[in-house]
Structure 1
């Protein structure tokens, strides 16, 4: 379940308080006080078998004695009573329950866990939803609902705040009330036995009262649901998150470089970025970010981080510049035209550069002229205007001049503007003027600059959500049969680690270039293998018990002849035995020396996070990798755009782009290697960990010199759920690729849509006649915008599906597409279909619709529906043939609502 019955939490017609109390200081007393004195207009029914009344209102001895069924119930009775109370409420028809009580397994108590399960078992048959247990409750200020024991109410507003921590709720309310900040919803989720972050994000995404969503997250429960909901919500409105518990109490024992480097907080950071969510680190920063994203003019497409700074004090400009550089922003370089305009409008003593210091005696007119000139500069992405109080200028008049300059510009030419009026009482009215004009205002240069960079980061995240990736260069199918045989052999022997030659073989099957590597059981065989490979060679010890071979003298490089190989192997056995006498030794790996002068040493890896499943790591490699700690992590699946973005988060990325006489490395080859690792994560649940260190990268490409692969025991792999069940983001569903035939016998390939299909999808819509476009979109549209095409191709396979038909003559040409978008409950899905106008009448639309309906049935979707113009007779005939029912919409008789109820599918859709 996701949004089902959540409306009852925030718009109930009646509320019951089970455990209401008149005893001052008790939770039941505070809950009753807040409920009865917050302006809720519906009936509130307290339940207490020992009191006749609570807060002057008649109390009822039990749930069964209530005069009506409450939409919402608040429960604060002892934990052992909660399952029966939940069952009684559910059976009567209550839709939502907030369980404030603790004692449901916190800290791992078995009795509490049993009570928790009993509570859930009582609720689920009746689709009753539960917030909590162990929570402060919830507030919906616009409805006058305060179903919490918080010490104060929330002001009504348009921001939602959802948190796991009850203490954060009370701190947030106290902090916000003093600043006049209001909320649409405040929800303490507690232990999230039922309703979690994913549910709330789905609900708030479409809530018209909510303009922005703030989250305080300590951990997520269902990672895939969270990622789908967060991405869907972030496409519609800003989502800002604070992550609590950023520093782990103790590092887990790691068996590889990748495991040691991919910390849990970095994984959360990667998840937030992938979902388009803006992460902040303090409550103050949270509200600054909300104010910025909710009130400022958005950065235009293609704009970056070039800030112009206007000030009447040089010191303020210096502080703002320092903050900008620390946050990795850039000072705008002013154009000659702007400089000339400023020279004409300002006194000779102005700074003649950016920051633009217009001197301490600046009056409103000087501010107006400078603001207008800077906003006209095409090299300025945003403007920060600062003012410190001086006796010769009224701060309110200066503020009004800036506001007038901003509002005088046409809306299409407006740029983000930030203000920082320093001081307290003297500038309080000025800040009010900015707030009333929806211009973000701050009390320090640093906060203003940080907020500008919030806008930059948010814009970059949104663009990344819509970025069209390039196709994988020289895309080839992996040798899956060889990989399967290799893994089966290792698992049958009960091995946890593949040998180095096996690990490289697996990587090679997936397209990662590796150095030729062979296994030798003893020094004599090492010599024979070296002679066959050709000198010089390197030899390494093979042992499942030794993680870092160089630490025990288990690596020898650049061996030029047979004698040196033999001596090195014999000495290596002695060193390893002395250093690790308990270690099992299986022999040696022998590999050709790879001479790539000037190549950069990288690390690529795959590990598993407890919440988010497989995680991919990229960074600077070598023996000092844990010391250097130049790395970034990302969630699979990756495409070329995401792989490049992951690389760009590291310091070594600048070196990879080339410097001085050093040629740039082949960045596409590195990105392709990351994609190959991502593909292994999606297809091979048996693979638990991969470590490639070093991966050499230069202008010629990449090659893996060393690799380790750790396997998951066979009994821990759940093959029934499909190969990608562990991934937080559902990957491309390759199993849906099929061939089909048109009425004239033409064979077409049908597959799920991919992000790199955006150009082909736009081309398909250019092959639609204007009349067909109107039939599809209910309006005239000259072409498909980049934003629309990106949204149609970068779909969430966990909730949507689009199947495309490929031209048999040109694999980059689409002939048609059929899609469904399911609701969060996976109950109903809306369909859409488009076929090139010049290909109609050949049965392609029927083929695509039949395939998408079959898929919907396998997904367990109950109903597929769509709206069709009544004049679209071809589509109405098509859906009639497919068994759809039809009815005219009362609100618009020109539209026919068609729907088809799907029966149970023979097989459920996996992963």
Structure 2
């Protein structure tokens, strides 16, 4: 673990590239350090320095500074950067922020310069942030080692961003919203310090309660998972990952040189390690606000208090939509509400206090609701009626909140009418929203994190021991020795059999006689298909024949398939023809694996068959550390699961056999990193048991 204390809480800072010209970045950084209240020494560095800069003694080089330096902030042209960084190393400066752009994000010479920078950082054991970044801010030190226009107010939210432009936009927005930050860190190109290093440091930061990140790529998948699993048990980590579309992925590559991963992969990885994923900037900071202001709910049950019936209905719809619950009120609570709410209102949940509700009615209603044991959190929603008193209602909510630790979200559906009330609420650490949907989503994030924090799932893969790893290894090694990057169907069947995966028997025949004998031995009917890793679309060339019912037909079909293959691909010598037992129809599911370079096997499950791409009913989970609970969730999140459980009078299928196959596929792909892709489509699922039909394994 890197020690980044000197990056956020230095006793002295050197600004390399400090300037007396106000439009220069070096001037802004030095001025920001002076104005923010930084209590340590500030050393402006400029090769043309003569006396002072911005009222501070200036030096031509960091080597000329008489004392020790904890942090250097560097803003000089890229071509001079590495020689200046070398001087920092010689000076013994352990923490460096490189503001300057012009490195790997521009390609060419920039890539080489950044590689040299990494070598210098490693040589002197320096922590280097950037290049191509905005800098860092710590509001509690205080220190503003950035070229942002303003210093945010102190708070308990840490914001880590790979985009400097995104950071300055958020800082500007936070001022108007009254949001405070503990630390703001712009990562840039991540030549040395990564998001993982910063988050690991923030886990132990007493001033940070929630960590928000905007990221365009992950530096080290394996370490990311390891660190996040530990950090998310301590405090919530919410990440907005860009590059989810193909257009977005291209934009990421040209922006910082980061490579955007497959979006489903990131979903699976984040879920695996407890990271909460935001889908928009709005989500990111709504969640951050909720986590910074609220205790965690003890359950899913929500009470809604509103002065407008329509808003209450919208809120109830969203609560159900995201898997929360509209709380049932006890008879005792309803009786108490009837004493404070006129008969024209509603004492059922959503609770309608009416448009003319005085502040005292809000406070009384909230007191009653918060005292109900079967309510875990509350959403208060208001429209600006003529009789509504925003400031007084805000004070009433604050008074009620002091008596309870249950989360309260306030939705003030309007603009200028609620400015004063929103300030009262935010000053007292109560989150406010403009629309009910965003408040419900924020509450959903709190509830999910409470589940994440309390989960202690045990991997179910280690329990599978009845496998023949050596047999599978021999088959894979043999295929690689023959120069093939894919297993034949018969080889894939043998690997599956070695790992206890139930599959339809398949045998490779190299002569028509072998085909006939194999078909007769396994029992009719059978399927015959051409065996070649170089012929991809076998059906299109007449390379697959189903429902072969006699030995003689099998021999004739062998010759026919070989002839079709030679005609379509005269340059290809097939390995033979595969004979496979035809299985009775069952519910068709897909089980597959794609290996991600960062996170390892990503296991897919969903509806199989010929329409798999059209219907796209597939859920992905990370293979590493997969548990029984995760597999249950994976299956239940698909539409095909409803058919497997028995639909409209059908008998349920053997879901346990599907779970067993998922576990065995996961173990196989964890045991053999050389397996790049595995696809079983379909797997027929029966009332008892299941059988894999078409197994593809790519190396």
Same fold per superposition (TM over 0.5) = yes
| Counterpart selection for 1:502 from 479, 486, 491 | 491
Tell me if the contact between 1:363 and 1:393 (Cα under 8 Å) persists in the aligned partners. Answer: yes
SS at 1:494 equivalent: coil
Tell me if the contact between 2:461 and 2:663 (Cα under 8 Å) persists in the aligned partners. Answer: no
- The residue aligned with 2:255 is none
- The residue aligned with 1:467 is 457
Cα deviation per residue 1:585-607 (whole Å; 9 max; x = unaligned)? Answer: 333222222225xx321111122
Q: 1:124: Cα distance to partner? A: 2.2
- The residue aligned with 1:866 is none
Tell me if the contact between 1:361 and 1:393 (Cα under 8 Å) persists in the aligned partners. Answer: yes
Cα deviation per residue 1:624-680 (whole Å; 9 max; x = unaligned)? Answer: 111111112222222322222333333333333333323333333322322222222
Q: 1:709: Cα distance to partner? A: 0.6
Distance (whole Å) between structure 1 residues aligned to residue 401 and residue 17 of structure 2 = 55
Cα deviation per residue 1:490-540 (whole Å; 9 max; x = unaligned)? Answer: 111111111111111111211211111111235443332111110122223
SS at 2:246 equivalent: coil
- Cα 1:438–1:510 change in 2 (3 A) is same
| Counterpart selection for 1:693 from 674, 681, 690 | 681
| Counterpart selection for 2:604 from 604, 613, 617 | 617
Query: Structure 2 stretches of 5 or more lacking a match?
Result: 251-259
Distance (whole Å) between structure 2 residues aligned to residue 76 and residue 352 of structure 1 = 62
Query: 492-501 vs 79-88, which deviates more?
Result: 79-88
Distance (whole Å) between structure 2 residues aligned to residue 572 and residue 363 of structure 1 = 84
SS at 1:114 equivalent: helix
Query: Structure 1 stretches of 5 or more lacking a match?
Result: 253-261, 712-911
- Cα 1:585–1:342 change in 2 (3 A) is farther
| Counterpart selection for 1:136 from 109, 134, 137 | 134
- The residue aligned with 1:383 is 378
- The residue aligned with 1:559 is 548
Distance (whole Å) between structure 2 residues aligned to residue 232 and residue 462 of structure 1 = 10
SS at 2:158 equivalent: strand
- The residue aligned with 1:274 is 272
Cα deviation per residue 1:274-317 (whole Å; 9 max; x = unaligned)? Answer: 121111122222111011122223122xx23x433221211112
Distance (whole Å) between structure 1 residues aligned to residue 561 and residue 600 of structure 2 = 38
Tell me if the contact between 1:350 and 1:357 (Cα under 8 Å) persists in the aligned partners. Answer: yes
Matches within 5 A, 1:659-674: 659-674=647-662
- The residue aligned with 2:151 is 153
- Cα 1:13–1:649 change in 2 (3 A) is same
- The residue aligned with 2:318 is 323
Distance (whole Å) between structure 2 residues aligned to residue 455 and residue 399 of structure 1 = 23
Does residue 1:632 correspond to 2:627, yes or no?
Answer: no
Tell me if the contact between 2:117 and 2:191 (Cα under 8 Å) persists in the aligned partners. Answer: no
- Cα 1:699–1:401 change in 2 (3 A) is farther
Tell me if the contact between 1:84 and 1:119 (Cα under 8 Å) persists in the aligned partners. Answer: no
- The residue aligned with 2:253 is none
Distance (whole Å) between structure 2 residues aligned to residue 278 and residue 133 of structure 1 = 27
| Counterpart selection for 1:684 from 653, 672, 677 | 672
- The residue aligned with 1:706 is 694
- The residue aligned with 2:421 is 430
Q: 1:468: Cα distance to partner? A: 5.0
Distance (whole Å) between structure 1 residues aligned to residue 337 and residue 691 of structure 2 = 55
- The residue aligned with 1:71 is 70
Tell me if the contact between 2:562 and 2:577 (Cα under 8 Å) persists in the aligned partners. Answer: no
Q: 1:566: Cα distance to partner? A: 4.6
Distance (whole Å) between structure 2 residues aligned to residue 356 and residue 127 of structure 1 = 61
Distance (whole Å) between structure 2 residues aligned to residue 335 and residue 570 of structure 1 = 77
- Cα 1:369–1:36 change in 2 (3 A) is closer
| Counterpart selection for 1:479 from 468, 475, 484 | 468
Q: 1:552: Cα distance to partner? A: 4.8
Distance (whole Å) between structure 1 residues aligned to residue 687 and residue 453 of structure 2 = 32
SS at 1:178 equivalent: helix
Distance (whole Å) between structure 2 residues aligned to residue 547 and residue 495 of structure 1 = 14
Tell me if the contact between 1:634 and 1:646 (Cα under 8 Å) persists in the aligned partners. Answer: yes
- The residue aligned with 1:745 is none
- The residue aligned with 1:178 is 176
Matches within 5 A, 1:11-160: 11-52=9-50, 53-109=52-108, 111-160=109-158
- Cα 1:675–1:128 change in 2 (3 A) is same
Q: 1:368: Cα distance to partner? A: 4.6
Cα deviation per residue 1:827-872 (whole Å; 9 max; x = unaligned)? Answer: xxxxxxxxxxxxxxxxxxxxxxxxxxxxxxxxxxxxxxxxxxxxxx
Distance (whole Å) between structure 2 residues aligned to residue 578 and residue 153 of structure 1 = 73
Distance (whole Å) between structure 1 residues aligned to residue 681 and residue 23 of structure 2 = 60
SS at 2:426 equivalent: helix
SS at 1:44 equivalent: strand
Cα deviation per residue 1:807-837 (whole Å; 9 max; x = unaligned)? Answer: xxxxxxxxxxxxxxxxxxxxxxxxxxxxxxx
Matches within 5 A, 1:161-172: 161-172=159-170
| Counterpart selection for 1:416 from 387, 407, 419 | 407
- Cα 1:538–1:339 change in 2 (3 A) is farther
Tell me if the contact between 2:461 and 2:667 (Cα under 8 Å) persists in the aligned partners. Answer: no
Matches within 5 A, 1:435-834: 435-464=426-455, 466-468=456-458, 475-550=464-539, 552-566=541-555, 568-573=557-562, 584-596=573-585, 599-637=586-624, 638-711=626-699
Distance (whole Å) between structure 2 residues aligned to residue 32 and residue 661 of structure 1 = 74
Distance (whole Å) between structure 2 residues aligned to residue 373 and residue 565 of structure 1 = 79
Q: How many residues align?
A: 688
- The residue aligned with 1:771 is none
Cα deviation per residue 1:459-478 (whole Å; 9 max; x = unaligned)? Answer: 333344x23566877x4331
- Cα 1:312–1:567 change in 2 (3 A) is farther
Distance (whole Å) between structure 2 residues aligned to residue 685 and residue 423 of structure 1 = 55
Tell me if the contact between 1:164 and 1:189 (Cα under 8 Å) persists in the aligned partners. Answer: yes
Distance (whole Å) between structure 2 residues aligned to residue 279 and residue 151 of structure 1 = 29
- The residue aligned with 1:239 is 237
RMSD: 2.8
Does residue 1:287 correspond to 2:276, yes or no?
Answer: no
Tell me if the contact between 1:297 and 1:417 (Cα under 8 Å) persists in the aligned partners. Answer: no
